[in-house]
Amino acid sequence: MNMRRTTIKDVAEAAGVGVATVSRVLSGGSASPETRERVLTVAAQLDYRPSALGRNLRQRRSGGIGLLVPDITDSFYGRLADGVLACARSAGEPVILGTTGDDAEREAEEIAVLLEQGVDRVVAVPAGSGEIWEPTLRTGLTTVFAHRLAAGRHDVPAVLADDRAGVRTAVDYLTGLGHRRIAYLGGPGQDSRVSVFRQTLGALVDEELIVFARGSRDSAYAAAAGLFQHRPDLTAVLAGGNQLGEAAVLAARELDLRVPKDLSLIMFDDVPWAELCSPPLTVIAEPAQDIGYRAAELVLRAGGRRPRGALLPTELIVRGSCGPRRTV
């Protein structure tokens, strides 16, 4: 029962060369054509696969890239993860996935796990504020933020959707339809959007109409229902994500608000069911998968250098959930 897997040493012996030579051949170093040939055939014959374990220890870093998202159950992050996976696969790199639940503490724990594993490249949707990342970044972790950046941390490259433009478009669209009392139903880490929201709305801004939910579905529903009940005079809502949009639709239905007659609704993030909803939801589409892919690309290409980030376009897709302001 001697099922030891074949090591580089076996290959070296079988090929009649030293282990160093085998290593060089296999990792593209210099070697004479004949030996290269011989080593390669022998390696193929023995079905030799280098063990990542040995290599990782020697290089004091595990390959692979870490991926931290708030919630893999959320379609948006699912697509983002898919993008990262696609890029990683084309590079043959494994992806270690962790979820933070938009909680700074859990985020820190997940980072610790990654660090212990020797992962030195991370794509993250940051949950905690910038300081949390400070010690991590100084250990040489090359990090790329995706979808949003950590508060007060502009020294980390980030791949973002241009949601500021998205907010402007949406608000302009709604005011163009005659709406004056427009609410923003937000989630964690959307401060930048809200500031644009305020800015675009100008004199129309009403602080009571800006509410935030925590990450969960329940919290989103609670925020939406609370908002609608507390301020029945509002006529339009901008929901900051697909779970918030879902909550808004549900709450509106529960309170017998007809969309778009009583309430116009725009949602961030185009999801397949937006079209199936009745009425079909007007959305601001964000290229979630692209965000993931680009972020992974950046983190893989980064040879120690800090790459520049990217800003990807959003798109207003008009369906049926917005109408002219109701005349009370």
List the structure tokens of 280: 């079909």
**112 lies in the binding site for a second copy (CB under 8 A):** yes
Confirm if 66 and 126 have CB atoms less than 8 A apart: no
**35 lies in the binding site for DNA (CB under 7 A):** yes
Which of 21, 100, 143, 314 forms a contact with DNA (CB under 7 A)?
21
Residue 121's SS3 state is: strand
- Expressed in angstroms, the distance from the first to the final Cα of the chain is 84
Find which of DNA, a second copy, none residue 17 binds, CB within 5 to 8 Å per kind. DNA
Shortest Å, Cβ 115 to a second copy: 7
Separation between Cα atoms, residue 328 and residue 283, nearest integer Å:
26
- Written as one letter, the residue type at 139 is T
Separation between Cα atoms, residue 55 and residue 17, nearest integer Å:
20
Q: Write the DSSP string, 179-198.
A: --SEEEEE-TT-HHHHHHHH
| Cβ atoms within 10 Å, residue 261 | 11
Find which of DNA, a second copy, none residue 153 binds, CB within 5 to 8 Å per kind. none
Binders in 144-203 for a second copy, by CB under 8 A = none
Binding mask 271-290 for a second copy (x = CB under 8 A): xxx-xxxx------------
Which of 29, 54, 232, 313 forms a contact with a second copy (CB under 8 A)?
54
Phi (first) and psi of residue 227, to 5 degrees = -60, -50
**17 lies in the binding site for DNA (CB under 7 A):** yes
**20 lies in the binding site for DNA (CB under 7 A):** yes
CB-nearer residue toward a second copy: 45 or 73: 73
Shortest Å, Cβ 306 to a second copy: 18
Find which of a second copy, DNA, none residue 8 binds, CB within 5 to 8 Å per kind. DNA
List the structure tokens of 193: 């959007």
**115 lies in the binding site for a second copy (CB under 8 A):** yes
Binders in 67-96 for a second copy, by CB under 8 A = 67, 71-75, 78-79, 81-82, 85, 89, 92, 94-96
Shortest Å, Cβ 305 to a second copy: 18
Residues in contact with DNA, total (CB under 7 A)?
Answer: 32
Binders in 52-81 for DNA, by CB under 7 A = 53-55, 57-60
Shortest Å, Cβ 120 to DNA: 13
Separation between Cα atoms, residue 201 and residue 204, nearest integer Å:
5
Binders in 83-122 for DNA, by CB under 7 A = none
The strand pairing partners of 284, in sequence order, are: 268, 316
**Crossing angle between the packed helical segments 75-90 and 288-301, to the nearest 10 degrees:** 40
**7 lies in the binding site for DNA (CB under 7 A):** yes
Measured at the alpha carbon of residue 109, what is the angle toward residues 106 and 113, in degrees to the nearest 5? 140
Residue 237 exposed, middle or buried by CB count within 10 Å (0-12, 13-18, 19+): buried
CB-nearer residue toward a second copy: 79 or 153: 79
- The residues, any chain, with a CB within 8 Å of residue 212's CB and separated by 6 or more, are 186, 187, 188, 190, 223
CB-nearer residue toward DNA: 54 or 176: 54
Separation between Cα atoms, residue 177 and residue 264, nearest integer Å:
10
- Written as one letter, the residue type at 49 is R
Measured at the alpha carbon of residue 207, what is the angle toward residues 203 and 208, in degrees to the nearest 5? 130
Interacting residues toward DNA by CB under 7 A: 4-5, 7-9, 16-24, 26-27, 30-32, 34-36, 49-51, 53-55, 57-60
Interacting residues toward a second copy by CB under 8 A: 3, 5, 49-54, 56-57, 60-62, 64, 67, 71-75, 78-79, 81-82, 85, 89, 92, 94-99, 109, 112-118, 139, 217, 246, 249-250, 271-273, 275-278
